Amino acid sequence: MSDAMSTGTQFQSYLALRLAGYQEFAEVRPSVPFIADDIMETFDEPRSEEVFRLLSEMASIGQVIYLTHHRHLCDIAQKVLPSVRIHELNA
């Protein structure tokens, strides 16, 4: 069935399952860091904003780390959550 989905839809479905799993896990156990690596590269701006809102809620129960090399996603994260900390790694 996933073969019939676009890459963006596959990424959105995968992320939705990971977010739901994390929430369920954190309700009954001590939280662990949630780490995502560029899962939103195919998302449009409204979807990215909503994901950053969800990640900011998750940050109230545990550490959230989102890795990206897309500057526009950093800008969206700062727009949604002005207190976000962005660390730039240079080679």
- Neighbouring residues of 61: CB distance < 8 A, sequence distance ≥ 6: 26, 31
Enclosing domain of residue 59: 2-80
Q: Quick one: tokens of 24?
A: 């369920």
What pLDDT shows up at residue 1?
Answer: 56
Query: Cβ distance 41 to 70 under 8 Å?
Result: yes
What is the pTM assigned to this prediction? 0.82
What pLDDT shows up at residue 77?
Answer: 96
CATH code of 44's domain: 3.40.50.300
pLDDT of the chain, 91 residues: tens digit per residue: 567 888 878 888 888 898 888 888 888 888 889 999 988 888 899 999 999 999 999 888 889 999 999 999 999 999 999 999 999 988 6
What pLDDT shows up at residue 56?
Answer: 93
In a domain, 86, yes or no: no
In a domain, 56, yes or no: yes
Please provide residue 7's backbone torsions phi and psi, each rounded to the nearest 5 degrees.
-60, -45
